[in-house]
Every structure is written in structure tokens, then in C-alpha cells.
Amino acid sequence: MDSMEKKSQAKWRTGSQQRNYARKLMQALRHVRQNTMAAASPSRAVREAADRALAVAAKGRTRWSRAILSSRGGLSVVRKPRKFRARCSIRSRTPNKLRGAATRNTELNGRVRILGRLVPGCRKMSFPTILDEARDYIAALEMQVMAMRAVAELLSAPAALPSAVSGSGF
């Protein structure tokens, strides 16, 4: 791990950052709970609220957090239909020695383009910028998963408590 990777992971692993996110997440979930009757999909509303809370916890310091905060409905994405294009074979024009390097380069560019689509706000960024943003976004998502698991455990604990009490003879 290099120092940048440790820095982004350490930032999201601090207790204060986790408490800050947990507080914002609980506020967002309360808001969603109050407005669930109006929402078409409660699970989508929870996911968007959790993502907005994560972006607020990042304080807009990253491209992905600014992209989430600037979008109207959280992470709602409107996808354009793909256009079909004619594919021409470069094999006939490319010598054998260059064919392998060209294939590797196009594969890498394709993977970078896909990564740029996965990280909010990074569609048309340079390769190093996409990697930095992806590193920070993944660390933030790991923290989000930990917080969501803790919330799920808290919510499922009261349901398990009455069955344990009734089984003990009380």
C-alpha cells in the first residue's frame, strides 16, 4: 500500500468519521421513514439516502461526493441507449508484432472507462484521477457497509429479544 491509499483508508476508518457518517445516516433514514408513503420504492429511497449521507460525510472534497450531492435524486442515472457502430477489423492492417500491444491498450482503456462509469463524477477523467477517486470511494463504501450492518443488527435485535425471553419461561 502506498501512502495515498493508506491516507484514504485511514480517513474513512477514524472513529470520528464513522460517527459522523452514522449520525448523518440515521438522520437520512428517519427522513426516508417519514416519507415512505410518497416513495415508489422504499429500498431505492434508503439506498439513495445512504449514498447522500456518505457524500455529505465526505464534505464535498472528492469528485464522487460532489457528483452525488449535485444530482437531484441522489444516484439516479439516466442511461442513453447504446448506438451500434460498424466494427472494422484492425487485424488486416496491423502487423503481428503490434497486434498484442494494441489489444492490451484497448482492453486497459475499456476497463478504465468502465471504472469511470462506476465511480460517480468520474466518467471523463484521466486515469490517475479515476484511480484516486475509486480508491477513496471504495474506502467510503466499506465504511458504509459496516455502518449499514450495524444498523441492521440493531434493528433485528429487538425482534430476537422477545423470542428469547418467551423461550426462557418468563
Residue 167 domain-assigned (yes or no): no
Look up cell 431505492; give the residue. 44
Whether 64 and 134 have beta carbons less than 8 Å apart is answered as no
**Is the model's pLDDT at 52 over the cut of 50?**
yes
Residue 100 domain boundaries? 3-75+93-159
Residue 34 domain-assigned (yes or no): yes
> pLDDT for 58-101, tens place per residue?
888 899 999 999 985 544 444 455 555 555 555 555 555 555 66
Mean of pLDDT values over 129-147: 92
Residue 25 domain-assigned (yes or no): yes
**Measured between alpha carbons, how far is 64 from 62 in angstroms, rounded to an integer?**
5
Residue 143 domain-assigned (yes or no): yes
How many separate domains does the chain show?
1
- In the chain, % of residues over pLDDT 90: 25
Cell numbers linked to 108: 486497459
Residue 165 domain-assigned (yes or no): no
7 vs 71, more confident: 71
> pLDDT for 13-30, tens place per residue?
788 888 888 888 888 888
**Measured between alpha carbons, how far is 170 from 167 in angstroms, rounded to an integer?**
8
Q: Which of 33, 34, 39, 41 is nearest to 151 (CA)?
A: 33
Q: What is the DSSP letter of 93?
A: T
DSSP string, 57-89: HTTT-SHHHHHHHHSTTSS--PPPPPPP-PPPP
What pLDDT does 77 receive? 43
Cell numbers linked to 130: 479515476
What pLDDT does 11 receive? 72
Mean of pLDDT values over 18-47: 80
Beta strands in 14-144 (DSSP E): none
What pLDDT does 10 receive? 61
Residue 88 domain-assigned (yes or no): no
Residue 84 domain-assigned (yes or no): no
**Measured between alpha carbons, how far is 107 from 99 in angstroms, rounded to an integer?**
12
Most distant pair of Cα atoms in the chain: their distance: 83
Look up cell 445512504; give the residue. 50
What pLDDT does 79 receive? 46
Residue 86 domain-assigned (yes or no): no
